[in-house]
Structure 1
Amino acid sequence: MSAWYEKAVFYHMYPLGMTGAPKQNTGTEQTDRFDELELWIPHIKALGCNAIYIGPLFESTSHGYDTRNYKQTDRRLGSNEDFRHFISLCHENGIRVVVDGVFNHTGREFFAFKDIQEKKWDSPYKDWYKGVNFDWSSPLGDPFGYEAWQGHFELPCLNHANPQVCRYLFDVIRFWVDTFDIDGIRLDCANVLDFHFMEEMRRETKTMKEDFWLMGEVIHGDYGRWVNDHMLHSVTNYELHKSIYSGFNDHNFFEIAHNVRRLEAIGRSLYTFVDNHDEDRIASKLRTKEHLLPVYTCLMTLPGIPSIYYGGEWGIEGKRTPSCDDALRPAISPDAFDSLRCTLTDRISKLSIIHQENEELHMGRYQELLLTNRQYAFARHGEHSLIITALNNDDNEAVLNIPVPMAASQAVNLLEDGEILPIRDGKLQITLKGCDGAVLKIKGES
């Protein structure tokens, strides 16, 4: 039996932004914004998503990745009980919940770092951070130096070579499972985390909950180094992300197809997306806004575990600046859902349901069938069936003659209410509108 995450369609939530929470945590006022987040659950379910990646969530100073307390939800969002209730509602609606694990660094207000500030070399936590050195002072005035994430000294790096640090973090994960009943973790900055630490995490979490999912944020490198039987189940597929928007902007489907072929050995388990909380919105990256329909058709049917970043279903735009990500993480009121709904929303909803209901799209083998700069068709193989996706990035309609790698007489167009297309001499012919696509179901003849 396949694991839940192999057939998941994720909805990515950045709660501090989407609820309009204060940018700074004063440490005094606690507000229940999970009430508002709960109003998103029916929308997420109607969109066809069956899993949520939500984060950051735990007590922090500003953007959520400068953790103060791993065992307390951020007071700007609500209490532990509020978050536990949110997850229980998700589970009641058949939605799994994955949270951010920010384990590479902490904030400066984390208890271990504050103890070093106070006791200096007498602190029992002086070896909890990388590069702690009392021969120099940090740029922020600490009486010691330390290694900081990408030179941001408000984010001191934890030392995973210290077994005490690892045991503490595994205790945190067990607390999250026992207290909130989470279903997995997205590891922030997994590309720089210690491999032995992640291997041990895989062993530890396997005992905590069946089918517990570990997904890492990895931008560059050989994804197979992280995704294997001993470490992580999945990583973020930034390569596909880049090839999708670039391939559409340049009318170059060869770039997408090359990327898929290169990653096919591990690609069926990778976490795929077209935008997220760190990247400019896909609606702002595309030169032709009409490409949003085939872009999401591509995302939902290529190998991988697809994810929709909140607001993407309405085609909202947003670009980061060198100093601010706020435009990528806007506040959106649930009262606006109906007014924001558009053709893209309906397409994504239909695609999500197609993804859930067709096992070919979960871990099915990929096969390229037709490829030009502006037209692209590929198959995903089931045991006795196929899903064929046909895409057109040209402004004008195109007629495609697609070879069908299975003995069959007809195909059903799943995006057009069951339209039947004949298969003759091993090929099917389909006319695609400009900037659009089709998803075709084919069952083999007995």
Structure 2
Amino acid sequence: MAWYDNAVFYHIYPLGLCGCAHENDGQPVPGAFKKLDAWAQHAAKLGCTAIYIGPLFESGSHGYDTIDYRLVDRRLGTNEEFKQFVAACHERGQKVIVDGVFNHVGRDFFAFRELKEHRENARYRDWFCDVNFWGNNEYNDGFSYGNWGGFNLLVKLNQRNPEVQNYHFDTIRFWVDEFDIDGIRLDAADVLDFDFMKGLRRAANEVKPEFWLMGEVIHGDYSRWANPEMLHSVTNYELHKGLWSGHNDHNYFEIAHTMRRLQGLCHDTRLYNFSDNHDVERLPNKLRNRDHIRHIALLVYTLWGIPSIYYGSEFGIEGKKEWGSDWPLRPCLELADYTDAEKTNPVTSIYAALGRLKAECPELSWGEFKELTLTTQSYAYARVLDGKAVVAVYNNGDSPVSMEFQLPVEASGVEDLLADCVGSQPILTQVEWGKLKVQLPSNYATLLRLVG
């Protein structure tokens, strides 16, 4: 199977983690890539086998207004330093993917500068969408143009232009030749042209075996983007929403229904599962009961898909948008502040345990998903492979819960795989007449291995 089918991702927003200036002043943060490598090493200790780092290339501000696709953002360092970063990750057995911001560019991108200078006679006029020389904008360009999300800072590219397509395909080839990256997360994939993405898939198949394409998609039928002709995976925002609201509303039906719907649409395609990222508020700021962070970590790792951790979430840090700004979601952090976290922090402890179990239990990657019992307050399912099973059990209520269900495989007992984690509690289990009885404390979840 391909490497990404059993990968665990660690997501780094480098401009934030390294404390870079919010507007590109051209000044590098000393030792930025050394710091990023230390965090990648930390991720490896958590069992993360892949690093998603981005945005990474030269931009004017937050990284998604790209100025130069072939130059690492000077606030972070140099191309050579990133090349060394990727090599170090590969030595640890970690794959590396970067942001491909191919829908739009920043206003200082070379082709847009040429358009501003030469207007109707511009060589690159057709590289951009909806250029109107009878219009204007807040920059007083004397013309208007298509953008992303209503922001003229982000100039929309014409992806149906063969020159634009080939430019991006050459960018992918450059990134592989120069840095040896292993895949791309396509920004704003839900507005990318479908034929363009098919071309990206053909290019990906040529540049490197098992080169992975994952797209940022919010709503809709994910199989329209994730399929054999286009992308390998997309961001699972549908599950993300259910993860926190299903707990806030004490309603596991929402999560279970979401998984059934996605399986019906996407079948065996593995979607990119996450609890939070650089665009959404952190779990502690969205959950009514922060004990449910444990539940959501288990769900991300044990449901069908590709699990990921957004940097800092393994420590349970907060992050809330302020005055419309996403920067509070993308903080500068120091590993030294979390030296003993695995031994003292229940959230860190559970993520470390899940990373080990993901590596040790093939059922969690390849096992068939079997729902065992479901109520608004309780949920249990198994991942079954070759006569072995790991069972996930959940209680989102403020009172203890008892559940009973048919064993998915023959067994005479159970082992609590998370019993040694910080904050874990004892549970009662009984195997009898082909059934498993479990009593869970309030607001508690764990993983059980069936034995015997």
Q: Same fold (TM over 0.5)?
A: yes
Tell me, yes or no, if the aligned pair for 2:28 and 2:76 is still in contact at 8 Å: no
For residues 363 and 340 of structure 2, the distance between their equivalents in structure 1, rounded to whole angstroms, comes to: 34
1:269-320 Cα offsets, whole Å, 9 max, x none, are 0001110000010111000011111121121111110111111011111111
Alignment of 1:291-330 (within 5 A): 291-330=292-331
Residue number in structure 2 paired with 1:176: 175
Identify which range, 258-267 or 62-71, moves more after superposition. Answer: 258-267
Which residue, out of 336, 351, 356, partners 1:353? 356
Which runs of no fewer than 5 residues in structure 2 stay unpaired? 422-426
For residues 363 and 104 of structure 1, the distance between their equivalents in structure 2, rounded to whole angstroms, comes to: 34
Residue number in structure 2 paired with 1:277: 278
Which residue, out of 428, 438, 441, partners 1:433? 441
Residue number in structure 2 paired with 1:143: 142
Residue number in structure 2 paired with 1:337: 338
For residues 158 and 355 of structure 1, the distance between their equivalents in structure 2, rounded to whole angstroms, comes to: 40
For residues 154 and 41 of structure 1, the distance between their equivalents in structure 2, rounded to whole angstroms, comes to: 31
Q: Which amino acid aligns with 1:317?
A: E
Alignment of 1:147-296 (within 5 A): 147-265=146-264, 266=266, 269-296=270-297
Residue number in structure 1 paired with 2:132: 133
Tell me, yes or no, if the aligned pair for 1:12 and 1:53 is still in contact at 8 Å: yes
Distance 1:142 1:406, change over 3 A: same
Distance 1:214 1:178, change over 3 A: same
CA displacement at 1:400 relative to structure 2: 2.3
Residue number in structure 1 paired with 2:424: none
For residues 87 and 21 of structure 2, the distance between their equivalents in structure 1, rounded to whole angstroms, comes to: 26
Q: Which amino acid aligns with 1:60?
A: S
Identify which range, 382-391 or 247-256, moves more after superposition. Answer: 382-391
CA displacement at 1:355 relative to structure 2: 1.9
Q: Which amino acid aligns with 2:413?
A: Q
For residues 129 and 214 of structure 1, the distance between their equivalents in structure 2, rounded to whole angstroms, comes to: 24
Which residue, out of 396, 399, 402, partners 1:396? 399
Residue number in structure 1 paired with 2:65: 66
For residues 301 and 37 of structure 2, the distance between their equivalents in structure 1, rounded to whole angstroms, comes to: 25
Residue number in structure 1 paired with 2:371: 368
- 1:9 and 2:17 aligned: no
For residues 290 and 411 of structure 2, the distance between their equivalents in structure 1, rounded to whole angstroms, comes to: 36
- 1:382 and 2:385 aligned: yes
CA displacement at 1:322 relative to structure 2: 4.5
Q: Which amino acid aligns with 1:54?
A: I
Instruction: Describe the SS at the equivalent of 1:153.
Output: strand
Instruction: Describe the SS at the equivalent of 1:207.
Output: helix
Tell me, yes or no, if the aligned pair for 1:413 and 1:420 is still in contact at 8 Å: no
Residue number in structure 2 paired with 1:95: 94
CA displacement at 1:184 relative to structure 2: 0.6
Instruction: Describe the SS at the equivalent of 2:35.
Output: helix
CA displacement at 1:111 relative to structure 2: 0.3
For residues 358 and 107 of structure 2, the distance between their equivalents in structure 1, rounded to whole angstroms, comes to: 43
CA displacement at 1:27 relative to structure 2: 3.4
Tell me, yes or no, if the aligned pair for 2:428 and 2:440 is still in contact at 8 Å: no
Residue number in structure 2 paired with 1:50: 49
Identify which range, 72-81 or 402-411, moves more after superposition. Answer: 402-411
Tell me, yes or no, if the aligned pair for 1:293 and 1:435 is still in contact at 8 Å: no
For residues 246 and 322 of structure 1, the distance between their equivalents in structure 2, rounded to whole angstroms, comes to: 23
CA displacement at 1:439 relative to structure 2: 1.3
CA displacement at 1:421 relative to structure 2: 5.9
Identify which range, 319-328 or 207-216, moves more after superposition. Answer: 319-328
Instruction: Give the count of matched residue pairs.
Output: 443
CA displacement at 1:120 relative to structure 2: 1.3
Which runs of no fewer than 5 residues in structure 1 stay unpaired? none
Tell me, yes or no, if the aligned pair for 1:160 and 1:197 is still in contact at 8 Å: yes
For residues 416 and 333 of structure 1, the distance between their equivalents in structure 2, rounded to whole angstroms, comes to: 29
Q: Which amino acid aligns with 1:159?
A: N
* Structure 1 runs of 4+ with >4 Å offset: 28-32, 417-422
For residues 429 and 165 of structure 1, the distance between their equivalents in structure 2, rounded to whole angstroms, comes to: 60
CA displacement at 1:415 relative to structure 2: 1.6
1:27-54 Cα offsets, whole Å, 9 max, x none, are 3667541111111122111111111111
Q: Which amino acid aligns with 1:357?
A: E
Residue number in structure 2 paired with 1:84: 83
1:328-381 Cα offsets, whole Å, 9 max, x none, are 011101221216551110111111221232222224332211111111001122
Identify which range, 25-34 or 242-251, moves more after superposition. Answer: 25-34
CA displacement at 1:407 relative to structure 2: 2.6
Tell me, yes or no, if the aligned pair for 1:269 and 1:363 is still in contact at 8 Å: no
CA displacement at 1:326 relative to structure 2: 1.5
